[in-house]
Chain A
Amino acid sequence: MKRRSFNKKILVLLFAAAGLLAGCGKGSASVPDINAEENGQAESREGEKVFCYGDTTFNSENDEPDVNPHNGYAGWACIRYGIGETLFKYSDTMEAEPWLATEYTNVDENTWEITLREGVTFTSGRAMDAQAVKECLDHLIEVHERAAGDLKIKEISADGQKLTIKTKVPVPALINYLAEPYGCIIDMEEGISDDGNVSGTGPYRATVVETDTGLTLVKNENYWDGVPHLDTIYVRTISDGDTMTMAMQSGELDGAYGLPYASLPLFENAPYSISSCETSRSFFGTMNYETEALKDANVRKAIAAAIDKEGFTRVLMNGNGSPAVGPFPESFTFGDSTVTTETFDPEASKALLAESGWIDTDGDGYVDKNGQKLTLRWLTYPSRQELPLLAESVQATMKDIGIDLQVNCTANHLDFIDSGDWDIYASAFVTAPTGDPEFFFTTHCLDDSSKNRGNYHSDELEALEEKMSRTFDADARAKLATEMTQVILNDNGFVFASHLRMSIVSGEGVTGLTAHPCDYYEITVDLDKN
């Protein structure tokens, strides 16, 4: 492990050195020369519409090295840039609704019949029928571990436009999982190119795929759901937020996703516009039940009541988020409005600590018990700009109630998780990427959850999950989710600080670039520039 972390460090510093050297060269080294390409194109085709889009996420560090949905999280890029589409899509309230499919029936617990849309063709020219979808999904579960684990498909049969999926065990959320970006339907006859390009059914197709650099997209003339307005789209990966801000200001970009919060006020007025939307990406702390002090319910409750969520979201996130109660934002039927938790109240926290015998006896400003100061290690990482801000803000409010919070903000956080050298772990996670609530609990809160890092355990929660895994009705699932959320909130095993409000900035004359709660519908057929 140590060796691995050392290698990682070497890699990091090589990048840092490379970055530094690059920085010494041309000022705009990190912004690809968009204009050159643009001019070239403009000369050859007069009057064509070109759009430049800046994004922070299209890179291999993010597990999005290309646009092949069967590779890691690259499906997010495939769907985000309008290359691929899924059988079902999420509505604004994150409920799955038909997209490439028109309807589905749940024949029995393990069998689903899906009717596909007529008249849809891949950019390769092949018509999308059940056979093509079967080939795509067969390949997906063969090569994509996460998808295979979610879908638990036993066999797929195809008949014209009718697709029948049989699962090994009941999978109540199958339709939701099919709407996950890995479920983008691509033409497997055309295959996956060496650079990770695919043939999808979306409004655009990629002509150039360059890992960590960007993409070139051109209009799909045969798109089934309208005519795309733009001829060419250049997607540029710009990982430095300040560079992207300046590229947006100089007009090099027509739209941008992932700008720093501090830059957003610059784009509030015309000619710019901002489209914002609350997502299920939540910032939350996990309590380590191995830590002696945190085994005390009063201490956990005191911590939960000492986090100024309102101040954090309003001031430090510039209002680009909402204070969280539980893991799901209010827009979900099982979201924040259905559950309750501690409110910010430092006095109540102090009282709770005193009740458990944590009192400042030596007058150093920190509470102690049996001669031991209450010191907690807050582990987090810097790649999400909100997390270091949350850490520093919590450090100050904890100090007020007498807890000495030592912040460890490191890219190496997973090594610390493995070694157990932490008390509270703050992280960001998309809690309901498929619109279904079960995912968060199965990944984080159960005895056998892979991300149950703090060894949280609740008999009540285990029993509710047992019920959830056998429940198909959406309303019943939502009700169960509410109960499960309340259980983890009552235990204060997890403290949710805020939900991310994602923002996409559009430049002059740009329409149809809107943020969606799922975080990955960005370039659509509606996008236009005048």
Chain B
Amino acid sequence: MKEKWGAGMRTRKKVKNYMALKLIIFGTLAAAVILMAVFAPYLTPFDPYEQDLGNALLPPGRVHFLGTDRYGRDMLSRVIMGSQTTIFSALFLVSVVTVIGSVLGIICGYCGGRGDSFLMRLSDIFLAFPGMVFAIAAASVMNGGIWNAVAALACISWPKYARIARSQVMSVKNQPYIAAARLSGSGFWKIIGKHVVPNIAGPVVVTAVLDIGTMMMEIAGLSFLGLGATPPTAEWGSMMSNGRSMLQTSPWVILAPGAAIFLTVMIFNLMGDTVRDFLDPRQRKR
């Protein structure tokens, strides 16, 4: 019996180590991508906005590692610069919807009543729409632009977080320790801040991290449709859109930003998966 226990412990430890390693690897990669975005203006080998029509559509080579676009701008510089727009707007969007959605969800879940019913019906309305179609509609009504695209996606994304936070709060609020806190004289904000939020944070954070990649795709998608970043701003989605008619003649113009989106989204998705595995108690017990 004792041996079996020991073996179980060892396996669990191994799994945990493996997960920690994965978390470190993907965390480092994600951090590297974010750092690249932060220091983008210092990393670009050329001015990403400098046009040079004499060097238009050069294939990848020694001077221009990823080639040049139809205005003769260096693709590598534009991809690096574009990371700023795409990644920052995705991170900003995820933070905003996480905070707003969770706050609303917590208040609804904890207080209940008419306000809860109203907000939840409102979120039902938003959830009933196909997300991307709604975002396209909202972004075009607001006349495009990267911030309007972010606002449009925020409109459609907050209900998910409100739902998650609310259901978590509902299951937590009737726990004895909340009743104890209440009996000992803790006020509303203290209970929420000290006892509710720490106990519901896990699922919300996991959802947020998993959503970074999705949001990046959606922002790039709106830009691809001309509803996000406007020229000459370097943004991966709009760079792909501008190059799409050259897919057969100068494929690097569309492949470079495409690969950037693919790699970045993959890194954030894998990191999200690992964070979920790491925080999920069931996974850890296995």
A: which residues have CB within 8 A of B?
A: 6, 9-10, 12-13, 16-17, 20-21, 241-242, 245, 260-263, 265-266, 308, 311-312, 314-316, 382, 388-389, 391-393, 395-397, 407, 409-410, 412
Q: B231 within 8 Å of A by Cβ? A: yes
- Quick one: which of B54, B70, B225, B230 contacts A16, CB cutoff 8 A? B225
Expressed in whole angstroms, the minimum distance between the Cβ of B51 and any Cβ of chain A is 4
Q: B141 within 8 Å of A by Cβ? A: yes
User: In the complex, what distance in Å separates the CA atom of A487 from the CA atom of B280?
Assistant: 77
Knowing A382-B226, A392-B231, the reply to whether A316 touches B133 (Cβ < 8 A) is no
User: In the complex, what distance in Å separates the CA atom of A314 from the CA atom of B55?
Assistant: 12
Q: B195 within 8 Å of A by Cβ? A: no
Query: Is B137 within 8 A of A13, CB to CB?
Result: yes
Q: B53 within 8 Å of A by Cβ? A: yes
The list of the 6 closest CB pairs from A to B, nearest first, reads: A311-B53, A396-B51, A262-B245, A260-B245, A315-B53, A13-B140
User: In the complex, what distance in Å separates the CA atom of A316 from the CA atom of B51?
Assistant: 12
Q: Which A residue's beta carbon lies closest to that of B247?
A: A242
Expressed in whole angstroms, the minimum distance between the Cβ of A361 and any Cβ of chain B is 23
Query: Is A266 within 8 A of B141, CB to CB?
Result: no
Q: Which residues in window 31-52 of B have CB below 8 A to A?
A: 49-51
Query: Is A16 within 8 A of B140, CB to CB?
Result: yes
Q: B136 within 8 Å of A by Cβ? A: yes
List of A residues within 8 angstroms of B49 by Cβ: 396
List of B residues within 8 angstroms of A388 by Cβ: 231
- Quick one: which of A17, A266, A315, A395 contacts B136, CB cutoff 8 A? A17
Knowing A16-B140, A20-B136, the reply to whether A263 touches B248 (Cβ < 8 A) is yes
User: In the complex, what distance in Å separates the CA atom of A10 from the CA atom of B137?
Assistant: 8
Knowing A13-B141, A20-B136, A315-B56, the reply to whether A263 touches B245 (Cβ < 8 A) is yes
Query: Is A407 within 8 A of B141, CB to CB?
Result: no
Q: Which B residue's beta carbon lies closest to that of A5?
A: B143
Q: B244 within 8 Å of A by Cβ? A: yes
Query: Is A395 within 8 A of B232, CB to CB?
Result: yes
Expressed in whole angstroms, the minimum distance between the Cβ of B151 and any Cβ of chain A is 15
Query: Is B245 within 8 A of A242, CB to CB?
Result: yes
Tell me if A's interface is mostly helix, strand, loop or mixed. Answer: helix
Q: A9-B140, A308-B53, A393-B53 are in contact. List 8 more A-B contacts (CB 8 A).
A: A9-B141, A9-B143, A13-B137, A265-B249, A315-B53, A396-B49, A396-B71, A397-B51
User: In the complex, what distance in Å separates the CA atom of A245 from the CA atom of B247?
Assistant: 11
User: In the complex, what distance in Å separates the CA atom of A311 from the CA atom of B71?
Assistant: 10
A-B contact pairs, 26 of them (CB 8 A): A9-B140, A10-B141, A13-B137, A13-B140, A16-B140, A16-B225, A17-B137, A241-B245, A242-B244, A245-B245, A245-B248, A262-B70, A262-B246, A263-B248, A263-B249, A308-B53, A311-B54, A315-B53, A315-B54, A389-B70, A392-B231, A393-B51, A393-B71, A395-B232, A397-B51, A407-B230
List of B residues within 8 angstroms of A410 by Cβ: 143
User: In the complex, what distance in Å separates the CA atom of A260 from the CA atom of B248?
Assistant: 12
User: In the complex, what distance in Å separates the CA atom of A311 from the CA atom of B54?
Assistant: 8
List of A residues within 8 angstroms of B225 by Cβ: 16
Expressed in whole angstroms, the minimum distance between the Cβ of A77 and any Cβ of chain B is 25
B: which residues have CB within 8 A of A?
A: 49-51, 53-54, 56, 70-72, 132-133, 136-137, 140-141, 143, 225-226, 230-232, 244-250
Query: Is B232 within 8 A of A392, CB to CB?
Result: yes
Query: Is B53 within 8 A of A266, CB to CB?
Result: no
Query: Is A266 within 8 A of B70, CB to CB?
Result: no
User: In the complex, what distance in Å separates the CA atom of A6 from the CA atom of B136?
Assistant: 15
Expressed in whole angstroms, the minimum distance between the Cβ of B204 and any Cβ of chain A is 30
List of B residues within 8 angstroms of A395 by Cβ: 232
List of A residues within 8 angstroms of B137 by Cβ: 13, 16-17
Q: Which B residue's beta carbon lies closest to that of A21?
A: B133
Q: Which A residue's beta carbon lies closest to that of B73?
A: A396
Expressed in whole angstroms, the minimum distance between the Cβ of B67 and any Cβ of chain A is 15
List of A residues within 8 angstroms of B226 by Cβ: 382
Query: Is B245 within 8 A of A12, CB to CB?
Result: no
User: In the complex, what distance in Å separates the CA atom of A265 from the CA atom of B249?
Assistant: 8
List of A residues within 8 angstroms of B54 by Cβ: 311, 315
User: In the complex, what distance in Å separates the CA atom of A311 from the CA atom of B133?
Assistant: 39
List of A residues within 8 angstroms of B141 by Cβ: 6, 9-10, 13
Expressed in whole angstroms, the minimum distance between the Cβ of B48 and any Cβ of chain A is 12
List of B residues within 8 angstroms of A17 by Cβ: 133, 136-137
List of B residues within 8 angstroms of A16 by Cβ: 136-137, 140, 225
List of A residues within 8 angstroms of B140 by Cβ: 9, 12-13, 16
Expressed in whole angstroms, the minimum distance between the Cβ of B242 and any Cβ of chain A is 9
User: In the complex, what distance in Å separates the CA atom of A17 from the CA atom of B129?
Assistant: 12
User: In the complex, what distance in Å separates the CA atom of A17 from the CA atom of B70?
Assistant: 30
List of B residues within 8 angstroms of A20 by Cβ: 132-133, 136
Q: Which B residue's beta carbon lies closest to that of A316?
A: B70
Knowing A9-B140, A20-B133, the reply to whether A266 touches B71 (Cβ < 8 A) is no
Expressed in whole angstroms, the minimum distance between the Cβ of A78 and any Cβ of chain B is 30
User: In the complex, what distance in Å separates the CA atom of A123 from the CA atom of B160?
Assistant: 64
User: In the complex, what distance in Å separates the CA atom of A484 from the CA atom of B70?
Assistant: 36
